[in-house]
Amino acid sequence: MNVLLIGSGGREHALAWKIAQSPLLASLYAAPGNPGIGEHAELVPLDAADHDAVVHFCREKAIDLVVVGPEAPLVDGLADSLSAAGIAVFGPSATAARLEGSKGFTKDLCSRHDIPTARYKRFSEVAAARAHLDESGYPMVIKADGLAAGKGVTIAQSRAEAMAAIDSCFDGAFGGPGAEIVIEEFLEGEEASLFCLCDGSRALVFGTAQDHKRAFDRDRGPNTGGMGAYSPALAMSERLVERTMREIIEPTLKGMAEIGAPFQGVLYAGLMLTETGPKLIEYNVRFGDPETQVLMMRLESDPLPVFLAAAKGDLSGIEPTWSRDRALTVVMAAEGYPGSYAKGTEIVHLPKDDATTRIFHAGTSRDGDRLVAAGGRVLNVTARGASVREAASRAYAAVEQVVWDDGFFRSDIGHRAIMVEDA
Ligand code: AMP
Ligand code: GLY
């Protein structure tokens, strides 16, 4: 098979590394990729927003499957353009990608199908949103409706914070004219992520993970795209996974099919495990980053037949197998992230990958023969082991060997799981 992978982060490096091991693979291309991905794929300077160029490339190289990493090209309809050209694509259509592209759309779907989620209201005008503040208690959650690269959510502890968040949404920080917001109830509990492969009507569990969203140790500091993760998520027992499938994922797939937007690809449910059961915080229509890095370390099956089956709309008979190992990844980010940070600082040394430990490139580039930082999240130092503790000690040992002056990382990834293991 000839495969084109779209994206340039740590998630795509982990996918490229895994896909490159498939005996079915003939050629792997990545657009635009990064230096780590370049060890497994031929990098091509294609712009995912230029659908004609992507289709043209796929025809020229006889691509059998396109795997789309990030959400933006999906919300933008890249899968539709590829499907219309008869090219198999792992990733949902634009109408199905609204599950991530519009929080209001997803909340309304949940409400129609009794899917457990935070109580909410949608607003398209500042005055009405402000007036709503008088009726609710704190903390309260304010979300910009559209894609906001992880920055559109505010957990307001006071009326003043809520006002500021509403104003920033309507002032154009996340969309400008025609902006919409969702104001919702604050949910308490432990967070976990569930990944499902979907073929339009069926959903297949494809692993669980727990992300660490805050920038600093002990869950302090600003929200980020994720500073580390481990898999499987300790809190997601088999019973909880089954309940989530029944109460959240299956009704979602049914609801999407009913409105003519069947979901194909990977559906990532961000869950809050509350006292009354799992509730949906949000959907993403693609793999998590950095959760994919830990999933790929544990996946034993060849991913290509699995992704292709989802793309072709028939997952029957597909049963991915997983290592019993735990996996854990530590994100090394540029000082200042998720705020402003320097680019171009040199990564002087990376330890060699081995059977249990490997470094995925998240935001790197080449400057001559130097490897330099080129993003906020730069490296994903990832390891597996018989326990979360073992995976963590391997990952942190590798972190210690990285020579890069500008990086910072959390030193407590997986700490809650390790406490439970030790208890
Ligand atoms: P999202 O971008 O929707 O994943 O939200 C980012 C983070 O905000 C989530 O990972 C949660 O930690 C938090 N969050 C979002 N919605 C809620 C909610 N209703 N209650 C509590 N925390 C939330
Ligand atoms: N790690 C969170 C995300 O991929 O959205």
pLDDT in tens, 48-69: 999 999 999 999 999 999 999 9
In percent, the amount of the chain with pLDDT more than 90 equals: 84
Give the span between the Cα atoms of 97 and 107, in whole angstroms: 14
Q: How far is it, in rounded angstroms, from Cα 35 to Cα 143?
A: 35
Does ligand 1 come within 6 angstroms of the Cβ of 279? no
* Section 147-175 average pLDDT: 78
316 Cα to the center of ligand 2, angstroms: 28
Q: What angle do CA 336, 348, 366 make, to 5 degrees?
A: 80
Predicted local confidence at residue 150, as pLDDT: 59
Give the span between the Cα atoms of 166 and 250, in whole angstroms. Answer: 33
* pLDDT at residue 173, as a whole number: 58
> Looking at residue 177, what is its pLDDT?
54
Looking at residues 315-341, what average pLDDT do you find?
Answer: 96
Q: Residue 288 CA: which ligand is closest?
A: 2
Task: Determine if ligand 2 sits within 6 Å of the CB of residue 288.
Answer: yes
* 164 has a pLDDT exceeding 70: yes
Largest CA distance in the chain: 61
Query: Is the CB of residue 306 below 6 angstroms from any atom belonging to ligand 1?
Result: no
pLDDT value of residue 146: 76
Pocket probe for ligand 1: among 280, 281, 285, 289, the residue whose CB has the most ligand atoms within 8 Å is: 281
C-alpha separations of 154 from 140, 162, 185, 191 in Å: 8, 8, 12, 17
User: Would you say 300 and 322 are in contact if contact means Cβ atoms under 8 Å apart?
Assistant: yes
Q: For the purposes of burial, counting CB atoms within 10 Å of the CB of 307, is it exposed (0-12), middle (13-18) or buried (19 or more)?
A: buried
Does the beta carbon of 291 sit less than 6 angstroms from any atom of ligand 2?
yes
Is the torsion defined by CA of 283, 284, 290, 294 positive or negative? positive
> What tokens does 325 get?
């190992």
Mean pLDDT for the chain overall: 94
pLDDT at 244: 98
Pocket test for ligand 1, best of 99, 120, 155 (most atoms within 8 A of CB): 155
Residue whose token pair is 């990376």: 350
Predicted pLDDT of residue 129: 83
**Tell me, what's the pLDDT at 128?**
80
211 pocket-lining for ligand 2 (C-beta < 6 Å): yes
- Percentage of the chain beyond pLDDT 70 is 97
Please work out whether the CB of residue 399 comes within 6 Å of at least one atom of ligand 1: no
Question: Does the CB atom of residue 284 touch ligand 2 within 6 A?
Answer: yes
Q: What secondary structure letter does DSSP report for 246?
A: I
pLDDT of 403 reads 97
Q: Whose CA is nearest to atom 3 of ligand 1?
A: 282
419 C-alpha vs ligand 1 centroid, how far in Å? 24
Mean pLDDT of 94-107: 93
Of 344 and 179, more confident: 344
Q: What is the pLDDT of residue 149?
A: 64
Ligand sitting nearest the alpha carbon of 219: 1
The closest of 221, 220, 240 to 232, measured between CA atoms, is 240
Task: Say which ligand is closest to the CA of 280.
Answer: 1
| Residues 403/245, Cβ–Cβ less than 8 Å | no
As a whole number of angstroms, the distance between CA 268 and CA 118 comes to 17
Residue nearest to atom 5 of ligand 2 (CA): 288
**CA 60 / ligand 1 centre spacing (Å):** 43
Ligand 1 atom having least distance to the Cα of 186: 20
Helix (H, G, I), strand (E, B) or coil at 16: helix
pLDDT value of residue 170: 80
Binding site membership of 184 for ligand 2 (Cβ less than 6 Å): no
Give the model's confidence band at 175: pLDDT under 50 very low, under 70 low, under 90 confident, else very high.
low
Distance between CA 286 and CA 46 in Å, rounded? Answer: 20
Asked whether the predicted pLDDT for residue 236 surpasses 80, the reply is: yes
Q: Stretch 98-109: mean pLDDT, rounded?
A: 92
Q: What single string gives the DSSP state of each residue in 145-205?
A: SS--TT-SEEEESSHHHHHHHHHHIIIIITS-TT--EEEEEPP-SEEEEEEEEEEES-EEE
Dihedral over alpha carbons 68, 332, 165, 288 (to 10 degrees): 30
Distance of CA 69 from the midpoint of ligand 2 (Å): 12
Q: Which two tokens stand for residue 196?
A: 């499902």
Is residue 289 in contact with ligand 2, taking CB distance under 6 Å?
yes
Confidence of residue 172 (pLDDT cuts 50, 70, 90): low
**pLDDT tens per residue, range 268-312:** 999 999 999 999 999 999 999 999 999 999 999 999 999 999 999
CB of 156 within 6 A of ligand 1: the answer is: no
Contacts of 172 (CB under 8 A, 6+ apart): 179
Q: Tokens 């993970």 belong to which residue?
A: 209
Residue 168's Cα: distance from chain center in Å? 25
Residue 167 pLDDT exceeds 90? no
pTM for the model stands at 0.95
Query: Which region among 34-43, 114-123, 284-293 has the lowest average model confidence (pLDDT)?
Result: 114-123
pLDDT for the residue 223 = 87
Per-residue pLDDT band at 174 (split at 50, 70, 90): low
Please write the tens of the pLDDT for every residue from 337-349: 999 999 999 999 9
pLDDT(219) > 80: yes
Ligand nearest to the CA of 191: 1
Cα(119)–Cα(183) distance, integer angstroms: 9
Q: For residue 10, what pLDDT is reported?
A: 98
In this structure, the dihedral spanned by the alpha carbons of residues 284, 285, 288 and 289, taken in order and rounded to 10 degrees, is -100
